Each structure stands twice: as structure tokens, then as C-alpha cells.
Amino acid sequence: MEAQPLHLKRELGLGSGITMIIGTMIGSGIFVSPGGVLQRSGAMSYIELGTMFPASGADYIYLMQGLGPFVGYLYAWMNTFVLRPVAGAVICQVFALYLLQPFYNHFGSHTFTEDLKWNLEKGVTILALIALCVINCCSVKMASWLQNVLTVAKLIAIALIVAGGTYHIAMGEFEYLEQGFDQVPNTTDSASSIALAFYSGLWSYDAWNNLNFVMEELHDPLRNLNLSILIGIPLVTVIYVLVNIAYLTVLSPSQVLRSDAVVVTWGRLFFKDTSYEFLGEYVPWVASGFVALSTFGAANGTLFGSSRVSFAAAREGHLPEILSYIHSKQRTPIPSLILFTIMAIGLVLTSDTYTMIDFFSFVAWMFYGGSFLSVITLRFTGAKLERPFRIWIVIPILLTFISVFLVLAPIISDPQKEYLYVLAFMASGVLFYVPFVLKKWRIPGMNSFNRKICAVCSLSPGE
Ligand code: ARG
């Protein structure tokens, strides 16, 4: 019997829509290496795109509509095999690091040798990825519940930090705030270091389009996407500014820039020279715990969103068909979720994921640029399409230029072979495009294999 094509189910409301955005944006960046600007106006372009094309897959759909199927295909290719697994691997690695850090501090280096630490960190990262995969395969409700709970947890952490900052300001202690960033040694203005600085700042804001990926699971998608973006992104921006101010009440700008665990350093110094100094001992535990919760939530949102891109692209015939299957009862895209997890685990085992953030941003901004450009081209090619929301056209034009700068500046002023690898991998996608997408060639036996998988695992093709 042929399995019936199935829809994803609409299970997310406005609240879950907002946590899908802010709970994925607020992850590692603001606690580990804070900074950044910009994204707010960018996200409004995504309201226009998202409400014009309320299908799952976000940039994939927009690029396909705005710049043609080939660009959409390339995005699906890079997103499935590079962007999303890198994001998942990096965030889960930060999770593992923070979960383990307090134990390292407590038991000292004679218990935790470098080798042991390495194994533990990789092990915990992989366990986290697997746990998230299982949850997301089991149920959309459960994954979105987890997202909600963890978002509340990180908002509590933020509230504590902001309260701490307010206390210091009330006490009149804010000398670093008055200095601003003028005093930081070694500030540079070469184009490539500015672009790279943006990259790490932009990492903190990345995932602002996360809800666009899951449009088909959102109740009343037009209204809820609109509201979630308009509420979620300004909220994150305000939160980031407040947290940065709070950091600067205790730490100097160069301490902020130098620390690789700002929130822990901040917490430790917070109680210094006060009558509560003894509390400083507990701070690393509490701060690390919050960062662990926060990153776990961001990884959950990443996995949730990512799997919907491969799902949407496979449905269009741009990726192997099996990725478009969903579980007939749970309505979760299990093959896509599993592929993501395997890719992320592969990266954790083989690469230094931290240096990958730069290459992540390099690829990500290539395609964000493409999506901004799509807003512009669609004003001509899709002039008649209904647009529940219309952004002031200057914004996507400006953002297209910014994206071009962000992508080109580091390559031109500081070429590195890794950029070439990335481009080569992208080119390799073309090799598959011609036979498998254009010519619709299928590996012999694939169809009957797919059908068997469907029957055995109760999967159905997505519609
Ligand atoms: N903004 C997040 C953080 O600071 C990272 C988001 C990664 N990107 C994504 N699409 N999930 O940790």
C-alpha cells in the first residue's frame, strides 16, 4: 500500500513563535562573547518574505522564488551539509564546556587531564545532540515545550544580570561605562577585521529567521510570524544592550573582549570587595548552569528549524526524497532530524568547531544577502503577489550591500584557504544538481528502498 502524503501539523502559537526566535537567538554568544548590532531592520525583510510565502523552509523558499531554483538548491545543499550542522555542533560544544567547567574548577587539573577533558567534552556534546534528536523525533509539542521552558530559564538569567548591573549603577559604580570603548588597546579598522568582528557579533543575533523555517507548523502563520518577529527581535536587541551595560558595570571593555566566559568572570568579580564575597564561590556554578540551559535551548531551536529546511527542499526534489518523510503519527521529519544529528556529530569529532564560526558566517551571509536581494527582485518579478507586510525598499537594498561587504572583505584583505574549501564544497553541489535535480535521475532500487523504510518506520511522504 502507498503511504498517504501528510502535512506537518500546526502546533505552535504566538508564545511558541516568540520563543522559537528569542530562545534560539539567545544561546551562547551573549554569555560568552557579547557584541554586535544591526539585525532588527534585517528581520523586517523576513516578515515581508515570510508572509508572502508562508511555507516551511525560509530562505530556501525565498531564494527559489526570488533568484531561481538553482540558488534555492545551493542554499539547501549548504544549509543541510554545512550551516546547520556547524551551528548545532558549536552550540552543543559550548553547552558541554559550560556543563563541565564548574567540575573542572572544583576538582582541579590533577583529576581532569587535558585528554580526559577532551573526551568528556566531545562525549557530552554528542549526548546532547542525540538527546535533542530523540526529543524532536518524538514530538513537536515536546520540543516546543522544551523551547519554552528553556527560554524562560535564560530570561531569568538575563534578569539577574540586568538586576546586578542596575545595582552597581545605583551605587554609582560605572566608570567603565563612561569610558566606553575608546580605551581598548589594539582597536583596528582594517576592512577584514571589521568584517570578522561583525561575524562574531552577528553570531549572537543569528537565528533571527528561525521561525520562518517552521511556518507550516504555526497557527495563523501570517499574524503570528509578524507579531513574533516584531516582538522577539527588538526584545533580544534590548536585552543584549542591557546585558552589555551590566557587564561594563563590573568589567572593563578589554576584560569583556578578552574573557572567553564573560558571564562567569562577571559573576566572580561582582561580589568582590563586598560583604557577600563568600557568594562569589557559587557564582561559577550558577552562571555555568544558566549558560548550559541557554545553549541547550538554542540547540533545540536550531535542530527544530534546520530539519524543516531539508524537509522542504527534499519535498521539491532538491535533496534525496527520504528527507521529506514525516512520521505518520508524530508528524515529525525524522529522516531530516537524524541526518542533521549525524552531520553535527561528524563535525564535533573531526573539526575545531570554534574556528568554524567565521566560516559559518561567511556562508550564512552569502545567502542572507541573497534573501535580501530576493525582496528586491520580487518587487519586479512578483509585483502582483499579495504582501501582507511591505518593508521600505531601502532597507533590503542597504542590507544587500552590507552582506556583500561582509562576504568579500575577509576574502580580499586576508585570503585563507578555508574560504576556498567552502566554495569548493558549494561547487560540488553543482555536480549533483545536473543529474539528480535537472535530469531527475534516481539510483536504481532507491524507490523500493524508500517504500520499505516508509513501511517499517511508519513514515509518509510530506505534502
Ligand atoms: N545566536 C545563537 C548564539 O548566540 C547562535 C545561533 C546559531 N544559528 C542558528 N541558526 N541556530 O548562540
CATH number at residue 201: 1.20.1740.10
CA dihedral over 347, 351, 352, 358, signed as positive or negative: negative
Q: Is the distance from CB of 44 to CB of 391 less than 8 angstroms?
A: yes
d(CA 224, CA 214): 12
The sign of the torsion formed by the CA atoms of 455, 456, 458, 461 equals negative
Compute the distance from residue 449 Cα to the ligand 1 centre, in Å. Answer: 36
Q: Is 365 helix (H, G, I), strand (E, B) or coil?
A: helix
- 256 Cβ inside 6 Å of ligand 1: no
In a domain, 288, yes or no: yes
Phi, psi for 460 (deg, rounded to 5): -135, 150
Helix H or strand E segment including 199: helix 191-205
Q: What are phi and psi of 385, to 5 degrees?
A: -60, 150
Which amino acid makes up residue 398? L
The C-alpha atoms of residue 323 and residue 308 are separated, in whole angstroms, by 10
Ligand 1: residue whose CA is nearest its atom 9 = 207
Residue 8 beta carbon below 6 angstroms from any ligand 1 atom:
no
The number of domains in the chain is 1
Q: Is residue 3 domain-resident?
A: no
- Ligand 1 pocket, 85 CB below 6 A? no
List the grid coordinates of 215: 511556518
What are 242's three cell numbers? 542591557
In a domain? residue 8:
no
pLDDT tens track, the chain, 463 positions:
455 677 788 888 899 999 999 999 998 888 776 644 334 455 678 888 888 888 888 888 889 888 999 999 999 999 999 899 999 999 999 899 889 888 887 887 788 888 898 899 999 999 999 999 999 999 999 999 999 999 999 999 999 989 988 888 888 777 777 665 554 555 555 666 666 666 767 788 888 889 988 888 899 988 999 899 889 888 988 888 888 888 888 887 777 777 767 788 888 788 877 777 787 778 878 888 988 999 999 999 999 998 888 888 888 888 888 888 888 788 888 999 999 999 999 999 988 766 777 778 888 889 999 999 999 999 999 888 888 888 889 889 988 998 998 888 878 877 778 788 888 989 998 888 888 878 777 777 777 787 887 777 777 777 7
Q: Whole-prediction pTM value? A: 0.89
Q: How far is the CA of 169 from the centre of ligand 1 (A)?
A: 30
Contact of 333 with 306, CB cutoff 8 Å:
no
Which sign does the torsion angle of CA 89, 91, 92, 95 carry? positive
Please tell me if the CB atom of residue 298 comes closer than 6 angstroms to any atom of ligand 1. yes
In a domain, 270, yes or no: yes
Looking at this protein, which amino acid is placed at residue 108? G
How far is Cα of residue 410 from the mean position of the Cα atoms in its chain? 22
Q: What angle do CA 10, 11, 16 make, to 5 degrees?
A: 125
**What is the span of the domain harbouring residue 421?**
14-461
Longest dimension (CA), the chain: 74
Q: Which of 324, 306, 7 shows the shortest CA–CA distance to 143? A: 306
Q: Is the CB of 87 under 6 A from ligand 1?
A: yes
How much distance in Å is there from the Cα of 358 to the middle of ligand 1?
Answer: 13
Question: Does residue 62 form part of some domain?
Answer: yes
> Could you give the C-alpha distances from 178 to 34, 184, 241, in angstroms and in order?
19, 13, 15
How many angstroms does the Cα of residue 93 sit away from the middle of ligand 1?
12
Of 163, 199, 156, 176, the residue nearest 33 (C-alpha):
199
24 lines ligand 1 (CB under 6 A): yes
Instruction: Indicate if ligand 1 lies below 6 Å from the C-beta of 29.
Output: yes
Q: Could you give the CA distance from residue 250 to residue 265 in angstroms, rounded to a whole number?
A: 9
Distance CA 143, CA 133 (A): 10
Q: Is residue 121 part of a domain?
A: yes
How many A from CA of 203 to the centre of ligand 1? 6
DSSP-derived letter for residue 438 is: I
For residue 9, is it within any domain? no
Q: Which of 82, 98, 151, 206 best tests ligand 1's pocket when mutated (most atoms within 8 Å of CB)?
A: 206
Evaluate whether residue 1 is within a structural domain. Answer: no
**How far, in Å, is the centroid of ligand 1 from the Cα of 204?**
6
Q: Is residue 58 within 6 Å of ligand 1 at its C-beta?
A: no
The gap between the terminal CA atoms of the chain, to the nearest Å, is 17
Which ligand 1 atom lies nearest to the CA of residue 209?
10
CA of 164 to the centre of ligand 1 (A): 25
**Residue 27 CA to ligand 1 centre (angstroms):** 6
Give the Å distance between the CA of 281 and the centre of ligand 1.
30
